[in-house]
Homo-oligomer: A and B are copies of this chain.
Amino acid sequence: MAPLNEDQLENIRNERKIQIMRAAIKVFATHGFKLTKISLIAKEAGISHGLVYHYFKSKEEVLYDSLEWAMELNETRKFLTELSEMAISPVEKLHKFTKFALSSSLSTSSDIFRIIQHLEHTEGVPDHLLEFTKNVGMMYVEFFIPIFIEGQKAGEIIQEDPEVLVGIFLTIISGVMADDPGWWQENMDHKIAIYLRMLTTR
């Protein structure tokens, strides 16, 4: 067999990396940074722990690269894009988003959420990671502000400072996702409807 050419090698390398990062995201989300053992990531990825250090310099780099990678292919971002293009009312958009956030507890996107929340409450997080988390938060806010304004224009959403409303809307979702998403799984639509009453006119 001819030796693999560089591109192919690069591909293999990338796939290995992705395999590790996918595992890392999952494990970091469950245990947080400090309590995540490299050996657990390795096990989850089905490789030896030594190999992790061929692709990443340190545990911290595993985290950082994994987050970056996860954000790039982020389903949430995709979901937001799709959402923005849907022909439904603003409040229906909020409903859909909330449902997505709470029900996707097993997907990468909620894992990212959880990791970022961990980081925000952790001391000694390196600057570039902190900045990263801020940016992610900002992305959401900037996405929802126009939707809220639109909702207010349509008379669906109450007349309050949109930033405050988005803030309430997102901190609560974020808190709930981190705290007890399980509770919401049953009768989710109904519960979300109640939840959104705080924002809607009648």
Contacts and interface: CB of A to CB of B under 8 A. Distances in A.
Interface string A140-179: 0000000000000000001010001101100110111111
Contacts of A180: 120, 171, 174-175
Interface residues of A, number: 34
A94 interface: no
A121 B197 CA distance: 29
Interface in A15-55: 30, 32, 34-35
Given A35-B35, A196-B198, A198-B197, A191 B164 contact: yes
18 contacts: A32-B32, A34-B35, A120-B180, A164-B191, A167-B183, A168-B191, A171-B179, A171-B180, A171-B184, A172-B172, A172-B176, A172-B195, A174-B180, A175-B180, A178-B178, A178-B179, A179-B179, A194-B199
